[in-house]
Chains A and B, each alone.
Chain A
């Protein structure tokens, strides 16, 4: 057996870093919703793909720059997320029932995507597609760099907002004890709608990034569920930076596994890491 070259290892690690940042970006909204709103929003994955398809459609039909579609997608998905949360509040849906409800919603969105765009594969073609930088022997594709940049920037921004602003403190307080927070004048209802909308808007951003790098098919929605859930749980529910760090750890571990052993071992990496963490830090997850 020959040892893998340094270039191979470094290129694989980069590949893992990029895909891991996408895990983190998708997981960011999911984890905030789960940790701060007590809503396990499986429809977050469907929102991500719906945004990806919308981006694809806008680019294909108007030729607009894919990143400009964010101007439409972000507010649209903010409104969708807030509306969904309003419905859940109206019917007092519990955390467990939110899982069932949003699973059903995911199936409906998947069927809707299939009805509009068919079950066939769709690939966004843009000037970003083939663009890349070369760093020594290593290649840095531009779409993946955009995803990494968006993931890091949004995670840091939300971390700062939650940690250092009154709005963020109010959100965390409402998540910890809504009754006491309300007694201190926190408008929990308005904050939860704002947060739900933000989570869905983050799904919209993740969708645009997804469409830059991946070929789309409706059934692919479910392919991301396991690994992103693992990233969210490892990163900590309600954490802004956790999913990104965990996503990158998973992505790089998977990629290095593929580089040095059989790629078929890669899928077990994320869950093995999760199990190890559960054993070592049972109270933290």
Chain B
């Protein structure tokens, strides 16, 4: 071989190796997830999409994960758990993503959890509503509602009422049979009983009920001091509309998972209570991370024409999920699912909703749900006092 030709080939070979190595160092960390971008759950999923985009953008500005940029692959599960299952399978086997992020809504999360379990992947999820069903050891909830929200959430609500000096004597529990809130309404019945509150009405309706007129009429007829409404999405607004039509102004009224935007915009919702993990007001939004996120979210949500531009439960849970994923990678300095899962179980993670731990039953930690109330067109946390909006107190009739 010609010595000159040999050196040329060697130089070219070494150059190729350097280029390949550089390219490899820059290869992005691929995070895969689905969201309900179309279908009945898409209104809320748009919030999760926006938060994911904001977080990945901020993360990449900070240098990404392990010195590599982060690429988020998000697919549309059409609000269908079976589609979510197929897409998570595809993300792992065909797209070969490095990490998983959970989808939106309990059904889809359960589907994704099954796939994650089959491939031993860590699954951090945003808003899973039934902790007792989260059996996979490498799943981690970003929504800190505790291991037994059926007891702890109603207890928090009754504590809030007591702290406001308005412990009810009678209660009406009216609830959708939607799985992730029905058990909580049943829990409310039990907690009410232990506190000596007399139940004057208990009603259940199927998810998707159109006519709330008769339900409103029955509530009016029962004359409760306090109405626990197991509502999800628009049910709360529909019930408020129906009550207004028969000239009935509810006294104390609580909604488990109302559509935050429409509820707060309703002129009849003043005084409505609900629960939250985060609201966009001091002291919750004062940390530098929360301040930056809430500011960017407001700008982007306004631009995207979302009806609710303030960070609340969904956006906060979504942001928290990304914080957990980043913390696990940084904490273990790896993308190894086993190591990440062990790290998350052993450590507390600082998030915008508070410090989260995962060493309880089914990897759930503390119930950090707070009680909020619509006051003059805004959701304000009113209980517990340490996280309540400055000067905010529960309005009681």
Contact = CB atoms under 8 A, between A and B. Distances in A.
B2 interface: no
A15 B214 contact: yes
Given A8-B218, A119-B42, A217-B234, A19 B206 contact: no
B43 A262 contact: no
B247 interface: yes
B42 A114 contact: yes
A119 B234 contact: no
A259 B43 contact: no
Chain A binding surface SS class? helix
B215 interface: yes
B217 A118 contact: no
B142 to A, nearest CB: 22
B213 interface: yes
Interface string B220-261: 110000000000001001100110111100000000000101
B177 A264 contact: yes
Contacts of A130: 244
Interface residues of B, number: 40
A258 B214 contact: yes
Contacts of B221: 4-5, 7-8
A217 B245 CA distance: 21
Contacts of B42: 114, 119, 219
A123 B262 contact: yes
Nearest to A223: B208
Interface residues of A, number: 42
Contacts of B190: none
A138 to B, nearest CB: 8
Nearest to A118: B305
B287 interface: no
A120 B261 contact: yes
Contacts of B119: none
Contact of A251 (B205, B211, B262, B305): B211
A102 B343 CA distance: 53
B397 interface: no
B206 A121 contact: no
Given A132-B245, A139-B246, A215-B234, A267 B259 contact: no
Interface of B: 38-40, 42-43, 45-46, 79, 177, 203-206, 208-211, 213-215, 217-218, 220-221, 234, 237-238, 241-242, 244-247, 259, 261-262, 265, 305-307
Ranked 4 nearest A-B pairs via Cβ: A15-B213, A219-B40, A258-B214, A119-B42
Given A12-B217, A123-B265, 16 more contacts: A4-B221, A8-B217, A12-B218, A19-B213, A120-B43, A120-B261, A121-B237, A214-B238, A215-B262, A217-B40, A258-B205, A258-B215, A259-B214, A259-B217, A262-B203, A264-B206
